[in-house]
Amino acid sequence: MSKLVMIGNVPLGGGNPIVIQSMTTTKTSKVDETVAQIEALIHEGCEMVRVAILDEEDARAIGEIKRRVRIPVIADIQYDHRLAILSIKNGIDKVRINPGNIGSKEKIKELVRAAKDYGVPIRVGANTGSLKYRDRYPERWIALAESALEEVRILEELEFTDIVISAKSSDVMETIKANEYIHERVDYPIHLGVTEAGIYETSIVKSSIAIGHLILKGIGDTLRVSIAGDPVKEVRVARKMLIALGKRKGVEVIACPGCSRAEIDVEKLATFVENAIGNLKIDLKVAVMGCVVNGIGEGKDADIGVAGVRDGAVIFKGGRIIERVRLEDLNKRLKELIMELKEAKT
Ligand code: SF4
């Protein structure tokens, strides 16, 4: 089991649930925009958020952002230890910085002193895009893992152990091997992710394989699914991944692929259900099936299901039809029934 590290009031590691995180795309000092984006991420299930700190304005904005959002905020800083210290003094909950990039030993000590004084953990790590020790090792994934571990050693020498570690490659196998290697050597919480994972479908495939494999092996304490574009998508995918892995409660919408027997637009209705209730934190399985021929039988394990018929749709539970609905009333009625189920379950 990994060591417990507190990120604000959220426990990371120590056998606690895997934490979903994401990163804002707004200029951090534009506080209203940043807070609005964080709220949208929280709505989808984000439990920790990283913001980029590019200058003093960003670092000073942390105080107000922290006052307005209820999840831990992490400062992402490249090179400049003064920005890290300023972020710490403004109430940040964790800093993402590599001490090896800061420069002099004195600067590293200054940062570590501030982190200790304020009880702020540091995430260190390596990405294949910015590998420092590629030439030292025969394989890139070992260089990736060792680069991350090198950053850990710098902090440990200064008796700082409030550490989270990450090793990310855009290659699935490299990500898997590097994280397994790290997991065998240190017990700090591991932040999982595939870096530069690409646009939607590509990232989902790569992230699901790499992160899913590691989580099934008991590796990983927090994750970020990196997807180009709106970070809300990252959080949705991360939640679905954890639900599919049995690590989270959540709504699962199963839907048939549709075929020439389909009497309703399966994709449209399943999308409606996802958007209406996809972020509820209860175990609920909803089936959306194109027809009654196979739909009711195949969807009988669901808490509630809908199947198309010639003149509308039927709603079923446990393989039995409970109601017939006209298509124009279907969305509204289905949502009502799901909400009744939700009330009964909470
Ligand atoms: Fe086709 Fe009906 Fe099966 Fe959907 S449930 S794939 S519509 S047979």
**How confident is the prediction for the chain on average, in pLDDT?**
94
Mean pLDDT of 195-214: 93
Residue 128 confidence (pLDDT):
86
- Give tens-digit pLDDT for 57-105: 999 999 999 999 999 999 999 999 999 999 999 999 999 999 888 889 9
Nearest to 76 by CA among 34, 36, 136, 32: 34
Identify the band that residue 334 occupies on the pLDDT scale cut at 50, 70 and 90: confident
Residue 156 confidence (pLDDT):
97
Mean pLDDT of 134-152: 93
Residue 101 confidence (pLDDT):
87
Ligand 1 centroid to Cα of residue 309, in Å, is 11
Going by alpha carbons, the residue nearest to atom 3 of ligand 1 is: 294
Domains, in order of start, for the chain:
5-244 (3.20.20.20), 251-345 (3.30.413.10)
Ligand 1 centroid to Cα of residue 259, in Å, is 6
Q: Between 242 and 300, whose confidence is greater?
A: 242
Nearest to 224 by CA among 12, 2, 8, 61: 12
Mean pLDDT of 285-302: 91
Ligand 1, from 294, 300, 316: best to mutate by most atoms within 8 Å of Cβ?
294
pTM for the model: 0.91
Closest ligand 1 atom to Cα of 295:
5
346 has pLDDT over 80: no
121 has pLDDT over 90: yes
Under a CB-based contact definition with an 8 Å cutoff, are residues 40 and 233 in contact?
Answer: no
Identify the band that residue 335 occupies on the pLDDT scale cut at 50, 70 and 90: confident
Give the Å distances, CA to CA, from 195 to 16, 129, 241: 24, 8, 17
Cα of first residue to Cα of last residue in the chain, in angstroms, is 31
Q: Is 294 in the pocket of ligand 1 (CB under 6 A)?
A: yes
Ligand 1, from 266, 289, 314: best to mutate by most atoms within 8 Å of Cβ?
289
Q: Between 238 and 272, whose confidence is greater?
A: 238
Handedness of CA 336, 338, 341, 346 (dihedral sign): negative
Q: Is 271 in the pocket of ligand 1 (CB under 6 A)?
A: no
Q: Between 88 and 345, whose confidence is greater?
A: 88
Q: Between 334 and 34, whose confidence is greater?
A: 34
> In whole angstroms, what is the distance from residue 47 CA to residue 72 CA?
7
